[in-house]
């Protein structure tokens, strides 16, 4: 028989101290809740497993026009911004370039998360590092902790523990039908320095030889530094080792070889990302999932920081309303759908449509020519191009 040792009791337990979890914690604390945050990392914000690309506020007002109440999350601290990109350049498998204006910050995500974590502490929240957690139950109580003997009792829980989320799985939110090779991208990235790349342009490369089912990227961080990586899906890949695709992108691809030649390679990081839109349900009786844990990644561009912040804020508000006023956590799903539901749906449908073309470089090259620059921009910004609107 297990002996339950509940270390403490709080209103809200948050699993994950990334942008979604920290923003949720801050909002809940401002609303008067007691909050305890867990994170499996031993340091806030490190290691970074992210391209750190973050659209500026005016771009997000275009991308998510119904998110007006949450636009303040894009006013990030200046010390967390490494670089400002002004354009996106998309390169087809055959080297044809499509370039359009799109302004974005390239973040120092470690600094961003450390700043928000400090605000959580100042508001009275507690953060426990080096502690991977799961969800447990005792009678009618919910507990979060490393194991059954070291747990915090909570009235509500926010799963912000990335993808695949252990807490969301235990809550019955993340189900096996979502975890298919077609719905999950595996990302490999290196931080490179001493590069001679345009520091004002983010580049996206499409091609089966280095990014089957996804794309490669060069995201400049200023001073000759860039995040360089690929995202692949195993349902499209022919090699068993995804690292080989990254090596090809860095050293052999005719589209990038000369551009990256001479750069200094930093450590490689790897991560997985959901790319089939939100989970079919993002809440349970006691739990709300935010950010990557809820599948809140834009499938046509891979962006997840902004959606994590917004869903985190919404979850923090709903947690307070749930505990203080008795509303159901189903309100969380209703609110985020009003804010970004349409865009998430369109982005998901566009990715699924693109899957019919991504297996052939020649066919996908033709598709990009068919869409043109404006159509490609529409897809990346989660809008259906005019020619595809009847289908989407």
For residues 18 and 61, what is the distance between their CA atoms, to the nearest angstrom?
23
Asked if residue 94 belongs to a domain, the reply is: no
In which band, very low, low, confident or very high, does the pLDDT at 7 lie, cut at 50, 70 and 90? Answer: low
Rounded to the nearest integer, the mean pLDDT of the chain is: 94
Per the listing, tokens 């490669």 go with 216
Could you give the C-alpha distances from 95 to 60, 230, 246, in angstroms and in order? 29, 17, 18
What is 189-206 written as a DSSP string?
EEEEES----TTEEEEE-
Give first-to-last CA distance, the chain, whole Å: 54
Tens of pLDDT, residue by residue over 223-272, are 999 999 999 999 999 887 789 999 999 999 999 999 999 999 999 999 99
In a domain, 96, yes or no: no
Over residues 122-137, mean pLDDT? 95
> Assign residue 372 a region: left if phi > 0, alpha if psi is -120 to 50, beta otherwise?
left
Residues in the chain: 392
Q: Is residue 146 part of a domain?
A: yes
Concatenate the DSSP letters of all residues of 328-369 into one string: -THHHHHHHHHHHHHHHHHHHHHHHHHTTTTT-HHHHHHHHH
- 95-123 core/surface letters (b: 16 or more CB in 10 A; e: else): eeebeeebebbbbbbbbbbbbbbebbeee
Our measurement of the distance from residue 344's CA atom to the centroid of its chain's CA atoms, rounded to an integer in Å, reads: 13
Give the side-chain half-sphere CA count within 13 A for 164.
16
pLDDT (tens digit, 9 = 90+) per residue, 137-181? 888 889 999 988 889 999 999 999 999 999 999 999 999 999 999
State the CB neighbour count (10 A cutoff) for residue 170: 19
pLDDT of 209 higher than 50: yes
pTM of the predicted model over 0.85: yes
pLDDT of 3 reads: 46
Q: How far apart are CA 83 and CA 175, in angstroms?
A: 38
Beta-carbon-side half-sphere exposure of residue 245 (alpha carbons within 13 Å): 31
What are 268-310's pLDDT values in tens digits? Answer: 999 999 999 999 999 999 999 999 999 999 999 999 999 999 9
Instruction: Check: CB of residue 269 under 8 Å from CB of residue 227.
Output: no
Q: Which of 171, 184, 174 is nearest to 137 (CA)?
A: 171
Q: Is-contact 376 387, C-beta < 8 A?
A: no
With contact defined as beta carbons under 8 Å apart, do 21 and 307 qualify?
no
Share of the chain above pLDDT 70, in %: 98
Indicate the number of domains in the chain. 1
Domain CATH code at residue 55: 3.50.50.60
Domain assignment present for 100: no
Per-position DSSP letters for 206-273, written without gaps between them: --TTT-TTSEEEEEEEETTEEEEEEEE-TTT-S-S-HHHHHHHHHHT-TTTHHHHTTPEEEEEEEEEE
Domain of residue 144 covers: 6-67+109-179+275-350
To which residue do tokens 């750190």 refer? 52
**pLDDT of 59 strictly over 50:** yes
| Structural domain contains residue 29 | yes
Beta bridge pairs of residue 143: 136, 153
% of the chain residues with pLDDT over 90: 91
Question: Could you read off the pLDDT of 74-114 as tens digits, one per residue?
Answer: 999 999 999 999 999 999 999 999 999 999 999 999 999 99
Confidence of residue 386 (pLDDT cuts 50, 70, 90): confident
pLDDT for the residue 1: 34
CA distances (Å), origin 103, targets 110, 182, 203, 227? 21, 30, 13, 17
Residue 78 lies inside a defined structural domain of this protein = no
Q: What CA–CA distance (Å, rounded) separates 24 from 122?
A: 15
Angle at 181 between CA 175 and CA 187, to 5 degrees: 105
In this structure, how many other beta carbons lie within 10 angstroms of the beta carbon of residue 319? 29
Beta bridge partners of 134: 145
Residues 6+ apart with CB under 8 A from 325: none
């Amino acid at each position: 028989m297990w002996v339950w040792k509940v270390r403490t009791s709080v209103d809200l337990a948050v699993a994950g101290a990334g942008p979604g979890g920290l923003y949720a914690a801050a909002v809940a604390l401002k609303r008067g809740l007691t909050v305890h945050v867990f994170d499996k990392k031993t340091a806030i914000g490190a290691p970074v497993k992210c391209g750190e690309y973050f659209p500026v506020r005016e771009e997000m007002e275009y991308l998510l026009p119904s998110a007006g109440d949450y636009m303040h999350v894009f006013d990030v601290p200046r010390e967390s911004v490494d670089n400002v990109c002004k354009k996106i350049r998309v390169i087809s498998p055959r080297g044809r370039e499509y370039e359009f204006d799109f302004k974005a910050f390239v973040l120092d995500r470690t600094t961003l998360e450390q700043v928000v974590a400090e605000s959580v502490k100042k508001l009275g929240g507690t953060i426990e590092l080096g502690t991977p957690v799961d969800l447990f139950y005792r009678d009618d109580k919910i507990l979060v902790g490393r194991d059954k003997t070291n747990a915090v009792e909570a009235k509500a829980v926010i799963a912000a523990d990335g993808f695949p989320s252990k807490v969301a799985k235990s809550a019955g939110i993340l189900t096996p039908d979502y975890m298919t090779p077609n719905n999950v991208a595996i990302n490999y990235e290196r931080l490179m320095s001493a590069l001679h790349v345009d520091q004002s342009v983010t580049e996206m490369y499409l091609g089966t030889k280095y990014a089957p089912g996804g794309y490669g990227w060069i995201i400049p961080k200023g001073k000759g530094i860039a995040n360089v990586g690929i995202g692949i899906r195993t349902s499209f890949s022919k090699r068993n080792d995804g690292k080989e695709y990254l090596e090809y992108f860095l050293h052999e691809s005719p589209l990038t070889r000369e551009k990256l030649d001479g750069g200094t390679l930093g450590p490689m990081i790897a991560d997985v990302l959901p790319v089939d839109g939100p989970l079919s349900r993002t809440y349970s009786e006691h739990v709300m999932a935010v950010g990557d844990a809820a599948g809140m990644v834009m499938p046509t561009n891979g962006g997840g920081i902004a959606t994590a912040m917004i869903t985190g804020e919404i979850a923090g508000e709903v947690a307070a309303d749930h505990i203080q006023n008795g509303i159901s956590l189903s309100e969380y799903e209703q609110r985020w759908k009003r804010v970004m539901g349409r865009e998430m749906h369109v982005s998901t449908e566009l990715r699924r449509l693109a899957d019919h073309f991504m297996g052939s470089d020649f066919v996908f090259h033709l598709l990009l020519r068919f869409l043109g620059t404006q159509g490609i921009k529409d897809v990346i910004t989660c809008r259906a191009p005019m020619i595809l609107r009847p289908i989407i």
